[in-house]
Amino acid sequence: MEKATIVMLLLVVVAFAVSFYFYPNMPEKMASHWNAKGEVDGYMSRFWGTFMMPLINLGLLGLFLVIPKIDPLKRNYPAFKKYYYGLVLIILVFMLYIHMVSIIANLGYIFNMSYAVLFPIAFLFLFIGYAMPNIKRNWFMGIRTPWTLSSDKVWKKTHKIGGFLFLAYGVFLIAMLLFYEIVVDYFFWIIIGPILFLVTFTLVYSYYIYFQEEKKKRGVKK
């Protein structure tokens, strides 16, 4: 068994251990969602509030372990295995962190949930941005458009600029924390707006690069 797989299993076990340990101390109605101002605006039952995240982690672990075996482009995975497992580990650590923060909040400790969550989210985007240029063509991870999946060149160029944009977004989120009190009323759009731009830009850019590559091919044939 790979060392990374062992670490991933341990992260899932820790998530379940935390849930079992704190379950008796959780309220019957647990806070499960917070708005941009850090105010509770969603609840769920004690069981689901305590065990939903570990169950999601378990499902994600199973999915991440199966993906390299079922991907039609599985031959490419050895070339970026380090980044694939690194990203999986970061995601599981992030999910465990969110789970523990939720447990702590439901124990009655008062803190600003937005501050507690946004920095880890920013770090997640920074790591994705760092890893993205090194991810090879596959069907499950990365910027998957019809054009990136059709060409290694389009995939590489799109992920190079996509990685830069994800890094920039991570830095942007950290910067926004410094001005949190000023921008809190607009935080939804501050978070969602750049993501919509990222998705739209990389989609259009991948098509543009594909079009340019096809144009070159037709020119060579002539």
Question: How many structural domains are present in the chain?
Answer: 2
Domain that holds residue 46: 1-111
Pair (157, 184) in one structural domain: yes
Pair (94, 116) in one structural domain: no
Pair (101, 168) in one structural domain: no
Q: What are phi and psi of 79, to 5 degrees?
A: -75, -20
Domain edge (last residue) among 94, 111, 128: 111
Alpha-carbon dihedral 90, 95, 98, 102, rounded to 10 degrees? -160
Domain edge (last residue) among 93, 111, 129: 111
Banded pLDDT at 87 (limits 50, 70, 90): very high
User: Which residue bears the tokens 């849930």?
Assistant: 19
Domain edge (last residue) among 111, 140, 175: 111
Looking at residue 41, its pLDDT comes to 86
Query: Which CA distances in Å does 70 have to 66, 74, 157?
Result: 6, 7, 25
Banded pLDDT at 1 (limits 50, 70, 90): low
Pair (156, 91) in one structural domain: no
Q: What is the pLDDT of residues 40-49, one digit of tens each?
A: 888 999 999 9
Pair (210, 117) in one structural domain: yes
Half-sphere exposure of 81 (CA within 13 A, CB side): 12
* pTM recorded for the entire structure: 0.88
How far is residue 85 CA from its own chain's centroid?
Answer: 13
Banded pLDDT at 161 (limits 50, 70, 90): very high
What is the spatial distance between Cα 190 and Cα 140, in angstroms, rounded to a whole number?
27
Average pLDDT, the chain: 91
